[in-house]
Structure 1
Amino acid sequence: MTPVFGLYTHIRANRIRSVLLIAGLFALVLLVGYAVALALVAAGDASGAPPEAIAAGALDTYVLWTPWLVLGTLAWIGISVALNTRIVDATTGARTLTREDDPRLYRMLETLCISRGMATPRLKIVESDALNAYASGLTQKQYAVTLTRGLVERLDDAEIEAVMAHELTHIRNEDVRLMVVAVVIAGVIALVGEIVFRSLRFGLWRRGGSRSRGSGGGGRGAVIAIAIAVVVILVAWLASLMIRFALSRAREYLADAGAVELTKNPDAMISALLKIEGNADLSRAPASVMEMCVENPRRGFTALLSTHPSIADRVEALVRTAGGRLPPTAQAPQAEAAPRSPW
């Protein structure tokens, strides 16, 4: 992948990643499709055929399935494109704010968009005490910036403006589209895998057990083929998750930089991040939505898989590269510790 050096190369890199993710989606779906065919043929084998014969039979079945797999995947992508914002809003409880509902917030968002020559996305609110925000949508008509009630009430205007600018940068950089495509990949594989495992557990295994008691079973070849199919599906599912987790953390640093570029106020972005830290958890939001938020709090082992760098690292980057300054309350502990002598 081409290294990313700035906002514009990040946009280009995200477009390339989106194409690769869609190609990866089809590759994983086709791989899982063959694994499903292998599992079904093996589970239905009553003659004790060797693994090679079962694999050949599964290939014949898979060839017949392939057009339907492709059409089904395209339909899934189409549904995701059409309904993704509604699904996200349903999980978080977000509702649209009009200019009449909150002229102050709407004016902030509109001013930022005009300064960048962007179409103004929808403005939405989540009635939660958490301090967080996210951008959603795949097309110009769908794009929305969503804030929580806690963030609106506890941040001042400059800090809210900085958070809005951060989310607008995600839209501008096409990070939102990339995340939705990645979630679609994981969703397709997870759905197919769950259907297969439930079928094997509650139906096919039971029939296999009846054959085993009555006629010696389907043979060792069928067991091997089913085991291979299960392993393939598990590997594909893990691969789809790793695609999501492998998304570069640089996108958050670049969104912070884009916010500073829009507002010309790095201090506001720093103070907003410090207020958000430790208060960002949206209890109703699934992991896929939290990954789109300004902050996605993770602790312990799960932090290794986080798509967000820590707030401390982001603040340090803004201080070091954007000329930002820590607020007095954040500087106070350091000021007290500095005079202490090691002697």
Structure 2
Amino acid sequence: MAAYGLYTHIASNKFRSMLLLAGLFVLIYVMVYAGALLVEALSTSGAPVDYYLAAALHDLIPALPYATGAAALWIVIAYFFHQSIIDAVTGGEDVTRKQQPRLYNLLENLCISRGIAMPKLKIIDSDALNAFATGLNRRQYSVTVTTGLLRALNDQEIEAVLGHELTHIRNGDVQMMVVAVIIAGAVGFFAELFFRSFTNFGWGYGRGYGGGSSWSSSSSSSSSSSSDRKGSGGAAAIVIVIAVALIALAWLLSQLVRLALSRSRELLADAGSVELTKNPDAMISALRKIENRGELPGATSAVMELCVDNPREGFADLFATHPSVQARVQALVEFAGGHDPGPLALRSDTAMDPGNQAQPAATGPVPPALPSGPWGQTPDPAGASGAVPSRSGPWARPAGPWGPH
């Protein structure tokens, strides 16, 4: 499916995602076939390789409805309880306008401006700088933000991050990612089940090939019998290797498909944020502040894949769930006309109030200020003394709901 612009890219990604998710169901059937191979190889002695392959295929046909039903049940359970599981892992809690007026108003204004249904708002008490969206339908959609993100980013940057998450919801990315994680989890469950069964099954109770008698027992001499047993044992070993390889391959492909689904959507979500906010510099500045500071303690890999940035790097980018921040910033600079301030070093000794106004630290030296820019953080006017120069008269800065302007 060719893609020539933002919306055709969205449609193309949705189409490819549906194909990939259908492929994950196929992987479950491959797992069942591999399990049937293991059962046949361990329970039947003295058969050639082609017999094992045909017998496993014969076993697969009646097992297909059960495999499909088990996968469907897994999805139904995850459909209703995935948000509770994520909240339990991350410590996310629902918040209201009264509890977080600044964040709630920013999200509500974005939703109103584009006619988007207001998702639930959740907060994680963590110093990590991150956010993510979850849900499988309009009643379940939610956006979760860390308290560290609220302290470190200004209103324009937080608005850009919220726009990024709303774009994931608008584009259907959230549903696809949650479903992909669910099915990949089902594949992993089947893989573990089969490997445990293989470990505990035992080798000593073969039923024999060809109606209850051993394939090798029909030989007339002891030498030929020994040769047959050796050959049949080799065939069973080959089939076991094939089965284990199929299970490992299915698991690996399920993981790669899940990660590919995540990677393909982050650039579109960044572009969607710029479309919502009309502010590419805010998205760039937010990415630079979040860069490598988004690790959520105790969060599983599946949760980290939903976040704005996943600092858990993959081997040679093969298992990376997100494009690098540098690649995302470069795309925003090239296609949205943004300006890159370069990597930012957040001040570790500075507490940020709700309006993102810097307060001097109680103790310790003052590190160099962040570079100034269109959306970068300006140097602390207080300097080392902590005394902010006052203004009076008609040019005095009035106090607003988020502090002095």
- Whichever of the two has the greater Rg, that structure is 2
Counterpart amino acid of 2:333?
A: V
Q: Is the 8 A contact 1:18 1:181 kept in 2?
A: no
Which whole-Å CA distance do the structure 2 matches of 1:233 and 1:207 have between them? 24
Aligned to 1:267: 281
Equivalent residue runs for 1:263-342 within 5 Å? 263-299=277-313, 301=315, 303-327=317-341, 329=371
1:219 counterpart SS class? helix
Q: Which stretches in structure 2 are left out of the alignment for 5+ residues?
A: 209-216, 218-228, 342-369, 374-405
Paired residues of 1:10 and 1:173 also in contact (CA < 8 A): no
CA distance 1:98–1:12, change in 2 (3 Å): same
Asked if structure 1 preserves the Cα contact closer than 8 Å seen for 2:10 and 2:268, the reply is: no
The answer as to 2:174 corresponding to 1:132 is: no
The C-alpha deviation readout for 1:216-274, integer Å capped at 9, x for no partner, is 79733322222211111111111112212333745222211111111122221121111
Residue 206 of structure 1 and its aligned partner are, at CA, apart by 5.5
Deviates more, 1:178-187 or 1:227-236: 178-187
Count matched residues. Answer: 324
Structure 1 unaligned runs (5+)?
A: 332-343
Of the three residues 121, 137, 156, the one matched with 2:154 is 156
Aligned partners of 2:177 and 2:262 also within 8 Å: no
**Separation in structure 2 between the aligned mates of residue 325 and residue 128 of structure 1, nearest angstrom:** 29
* Native 8 Å contact 1:48 1:220 kept in 2: no
Q: Deviations over 1:22-73 (max 9, x none)?
A: 321221111111111111121112x422222233332332222111111111
Q: What's the CA shift for 1:155?
A: 0.9
1:256 and 1:138 map into 2 onto residues whose CA distance is 21
Q: Does 1:253 find its partner at 2:250?
A: no
Q: CA RMSD in A?
A: 2.4
Cα distance in 1 between the residues matched to 2:177 and 2:292: 23
Bigger mean CA offset, 52-61 vs 167-176 = 52-61
1:204 aligns with 2:201: yes
Question: Which letter does structure 2 place at the counterpart of 1:8?
Answer: Y
Partner of 1:123: 121
In structure 2, what residue type is equivalent to 1:152? L
Q: Distance in 2 between matches of 1:144 and 1:302?
A: 33
Q: Which residue of 1 aligns with 2:76?
A: 78
Pick closer, same or farther for the CA change 1:302–1:186 going to 2, 3 Å: farther
Partner secondary structure for residue 30 of structure 1: helix
**2:254 corresponding residue in structure 1:** 240
Q: Which residue of 1 aligns with 2:90?
A: 92
Aligned counterpart, 1:185: 183
Judged with a 3 Å threshold, the aligned counterparts in structure 2 of structure 1 residues 330 and 307 are, in CA distance, closer, same or farther, namely: farther
Amino acid of the structure 1 residue aligned with 2:10 = I
Which of 239-248 and 261-270 deviates more? 239-248
Report if aligned partners of 1:133, 1:147 keep a CA contact under 8 Å in 2.
Answer: yes
Q: CA deviation at 1:207?
A: 4.3
The equivalences for 1:15-54 within 5 A come to 15-45=14-44, 47-54=45-52
Decide whether the 8 Å contact of 2:164 with 2:273 is kept in 1.
yes
Contact 1:17-1:178 within 8 A present in 2 as well:
no
Q: Is the 8 A contact 2:13 2:264 kept in 1?
A: no
The residue type paired with residue 201 of structure 2 is L
- The C-alpha deviation readout for 1:127-180, integer Å capped at 9, x for no partner, is 110000011111111111110110011111111111101110111111112212
Shift of 1:74: 1.5
Indicate how the Cα distance of structure 1 residues 206 and 290 shifts in structure 2: closer, same or farther if over 3 A, else same.
same
Is this contact kept in 1: 2:313–2:320, CA < 8 A?
no
Task: Tell me what 1:223 maps to.
Answer: 237
Q: Secondary structure at the match of 1:293?
A: coil
Which amino acid is the alignment partner of residue 309 of structure 2? E
Q: Please tell me whether the aligned partners of residues 6 and 254 of structure 1 are also in contact (alpha carbons under 8 angstroms).
A: no
Match of 2:348 in 1: none
Equivalent AA in structure 2 for residue 129 of structure 1: D
Which structure dedicates a bigger proportion of its chain to helix? 1
Match of residue 8 from structure 2: 9
Is contact 1:14–1:175 with CA below 8 Å preserved after alignment? no
